[in-house]
Amino acid sequence: MDEKFESYFKAAVSVDNVVFGFDHTGLKVLLIYRGADPYRNCWALPGDLISLDTNLIDSAEKVLQDLTGLEEIYMEQIHTFGKVDRHPYGRVFTVAYFALIKIDDYHLHPSSWAEEAAWFPISEIPDLPFDHNEILSYAKDQLKSKIRRQPIGFELLPKHFTLTELQTLYESILETEFDVRNFRKKILSMDFITDTGLKQTSVTHRPAKLYKYNAKRYSNLINTGFAFDL
Amino acid sequence: MDEKFESYFKAAVSVDNVVFGFDHTGLKVLLIYRGADPYRNCWALPGDLISLDTNLIDSAEKVLQDLTGLEEIYMEQIHTFGKVDRHPYGRVFTVAYFALIKIDDYHLHPSSWAEEAAWFPISEIPDLPFDHNEILSYAKDQLKSKIRRQPIGFELLPKHFTLTELQTLYESILETEFDVRNFRKKILSMDFITDTGLKQTSVTHRPAKLYKYNAKRYSNLINTGFAFDL
DNA sequence: TTTAATTATTGTATTTTTTACAATATATTC
DNA sequence: GAATATATTGTAAAAAATACAATAATTAAA
């Protein structure tokens, strides 16, 4: 390599994950309490610098896996942020991902770089270090536009869910309301959720039917020009 | 800074642009003939390593500006590629952008790092160095899905264009055909192209009306929940 | 000047999708 | 069994998408 290239090889790259979860109180984001400098003792997005011997996507997955213990998580790269002064230690580009997880299924494992991890309601996010508020805002927009066109909402719900839960999920993320009858008609006509035959238990009123998502049916459909649109 | 961070600051980041153009023969991509190592004397995507003192977006714009002499180009970040061994000189992440330009308006300026620049039909792209074929394929998919939902096709056409040109553009990119009557009805009902009152000249048949895109009308509409969908 | 050739422009009927709207059903608790 | 709470379902009207072909305007040739 020509030595004129040397000056370029002085940057670092990190990944930052915007992890969304959902429960009956609404949409949540997972933040960690930083245990190391810079910005020690601040709430921030979970992320890490990338080792030179690790592929980008593997780094992003590892951060999430360390944090949640999960293997199969829905993840998607959303944007790369690269302002000159976004990191106090030098030139650090960061590649942002969003991830969707089933909030009930997992106990969080704070990892080496995080003293604590917690879910924050999407409307109560504190000031975050770096450009993390900007990243989060970007991720929210992406989630909103993505969920309208692909059946990814199911990644946020338990395996079995009620139609009311599904509707509440869509209403929270899209910040709108749907007519109960029209929503059900549309979702059911798309034909990739299935009645499990089961019903809710331990509710103090008429129990709702439990449905499950049929990912296979969707992957069959996309090749037919089918478009999910809500 | 703690010295344990030093090992991370040895990466480089580049930008690579997928520049689309359109003429009556179809969709084109702009490639440059590399005049410098690595991969000297190969056709490749126009791109460059990022100086540590330049913002990410500024780097991407500069590459395009050097190449085309243009100031206002439609650009959008699409994805970041970061496999460990994608660059022979070391760890180089690359941030890919796609850009849309009006092919007729500009004469290309080969720049310091490019001996030559040329338009290649989208279906006749040669083998490219690095992971540039993968990047290009990604960009094509993005363009396809983006153009269906946002009126960005106009960035590829001259200021004044005919409805037939517009339809051909959409048909090339989406690889489909539309009924002439239905296409016109839909486009015109969306109400952001305007009849200029002008007509084609120097054609050997009935001249078509010339239209122009009204960007302001679109930006007014998006706040009303209006959705462009073709 | 008429005719041929070429592309531009336009309308309507049918089907499908979206929208608006409220009554009935099923469970628990008191 | 009455009260309470949520789940479930249908229909009519409006809007949008689709399928389909005849007429108009220009140039070139005869």
pLDDT in tens, A163-192: 999 999 999 999 999 999 999 999 999 988
Asked whether residue B112 carries a pLDDT value surpassing 80, the answer given is: no
CA atoms within 13 A on the CB side of A149: 12
What residue spans of B148-179 are helical by DSSP H?
163-174
Q: Measured from the CB, is B185 under 7 Å from any atom of strand D?
A: yes
Write down the pLDDT at residue B106. 74
The residue written with tokens 């400098």 in the block is: A37
pLDDT at A227: 81
- C-alpha dist (Å) from residue A43 to A14, A20, A37, A145: 17, 16, 12, 26
The whole-angstrom separation of Cα A63 and Cα A59 is 6
pLDDT for B92: 98
Q: Say which residue the tokens 């719900």 belong to.
A: A157
Give the per-residue pLDDT at B2: 64
Would you state the torsion angle of the CA atoms of residues A175, A177, A182, A186, taken in this order, to the nearest 10 degrees? 10
Q: How many Å apart are CA A187 and CA A180, to the nearest integer?
A: 11
| pTM of the shown model | 0.94
**Predicted local distance difference test score (pLDDT) of residue A225:** 77
CB < 7 A to strand C: residues 154-193, chain B: 162-164, 180-182, 184-185
Residues of chain A with pLDDT under 50: none
- For chain A, the residues whose C-beta falls within 8 A of a C-beta of chain B are 1-2, 5, 7-13, 37, 49-57, 77, 79-84, 89-91, 93, 95
Cα–chain center distance at A27: 10
pLDDT (0 to 100) of residue B80: 98
Strand D reaches within 7 A of the A78 CB: no
d(CA A98, CA A117): 17
Query: What angle, rounded to 10 degrees, do the helices at B163-174 and B180-190 form?
Result: 100
For residue B1, the distance in angstroms to the closest alpha carbon of chain A comes to 6
Residues of chain A positioned with their CB less than 8 A from the CB of B8: 12, 49-52
Residue A180, CB, strand D, below 7 Å? yes
| Structure token digits, residue A38 | 């810079």
Give, in Å, how far the C1' of C18 lies from the CA of A173: 22
Percentage of chain B lying above the pLDDT 90 cut: 77
Confidence at residue A109, expressed as pLDDT on a 0 to 100 scale: 61
Of B12, B56, B89, the CB nearest to A80: B56
Which strand D nucleotides have any atom less than 7 A from protein CB atoms? 4-11, 17-21, 24-28
Alpha-carbon span A193 to A213, nearest angstrom: 4
pLDDT band at B133 (very low <50, low <70, confident <90, very high): very high
CB B188 within 8 A of CB B175: no
What CA–CA distance (Å, rounded) separates A117 from A26? 18
> B95 contacts in A (CB within 8 Å)?
80, 82, 93
Q: Which residues 192-221 on A are within 7 A of strand D at the CB atom?
A: 204-209
The kind and range of the H/E element at B153 are: none
For B150-163, how does the pLDDT look when each residue is reduced to its tens digit (9 = 90+)?
999 999 999 999 99
Contact of B93 with B13, CB cutoff 8 Å:
yes
- Which of the pair, B111 or A85, is modelled with greater confidence? A85
Return the residue of B nearest to A90 by Cα. B9
Is the pLDDT at B1 greater than 90? The verdict is no
Residues 6+ apart with CB under 8 A from A180: A167
Query: Is the Cα torsion angle B70, B72, B78, B83 positive or negative in sign?
Result: positive
SS3 B43: strand
User: B43 and A45 in contact (C-beta within 8 Å)?
Assistant: no
Percent of chain B with pLDDT over 70: 96
Residues from chain A contacting residue B83 (CB–CB below 8 Å): 55-56
- pLDDT, position B110: 53
Q: Which residue of B has its CA nearest to A83?
A: B55
Q: Which chain A positions have a beta carbon within 8 Å of B77's beta carbon?
A: 79-80
Cα separation, A14 vs B207, in Å, equals 56
Q: For residue A135, what pLDDT is reported? A: 98
Q: Is B114 helix (H, G, I), strand (E, B) or coil?
A: strand
CA–CA distance, A61 with A50 (Å, rounded to integer): 11
Q: How far apart are CA B160 and CA B157, in angstroms?
A: 8
Task: Judge: B7–A81 Cβ closer than 8 Å, yes or no.
Answer: no
- Extract the tokens encoding A163: 């139609």
Asked whether residue B206's C-beta has any atom of DNA/RNA strand C within 7 A, the reply is yes
Q: Is A135 exposed, middle or buried (0-12, 13-18, 19+ CB in 10 A)?
A: buried
How far away is chain A from the Cα of B120, in angstroms, using its nearest Cα?
Answer: 28
User: For D19, which residue's CA is nearest its C1'?
Assistant: B179
User: In angstroms, rounded to a whole number, what is the distance separating the alpha carbons of residues A139 and A161?
Assistant: 25
ipTM at complex level:
0.92
B63-81 burial, b for 16+ CB within 10 Å, e for fewer?
bbbbbbeeeebebbbbbbb
In the predicted structure, residue B113 carries a pLDDT above the cut 70: no
Between the alpha carbon of residue A215 and those of residues A219, A222, A230, the distances in Å are 6, 11, 17
Are the C-beta atoms of residues A93 and B77 closer than 8 Å to each other? no
What are B35-67's pLDDT values in tens digits? 888 999 999 999 999 999 999 999 999 999 988
Taking all residues of chain B, what is their mean pLDDT, rounded to a whole number? 92
Window from A97-106, A166-175, B7-16, B93-102 with minimum mean pLDDT: A97-106
For residue B223, what pLDDT is reported?
78
Which residues of B fall within a CB distance of 8 Å from A84? Answer: 52-55
- Residue to test with chain A: of B7, B52, B83, B138, most A Cβ within 10 A: B52
As a whole number of angstroms, the distance between CA A41 and CA B10 comes to: 27
pLDDT at B105 > cutoff 80? no
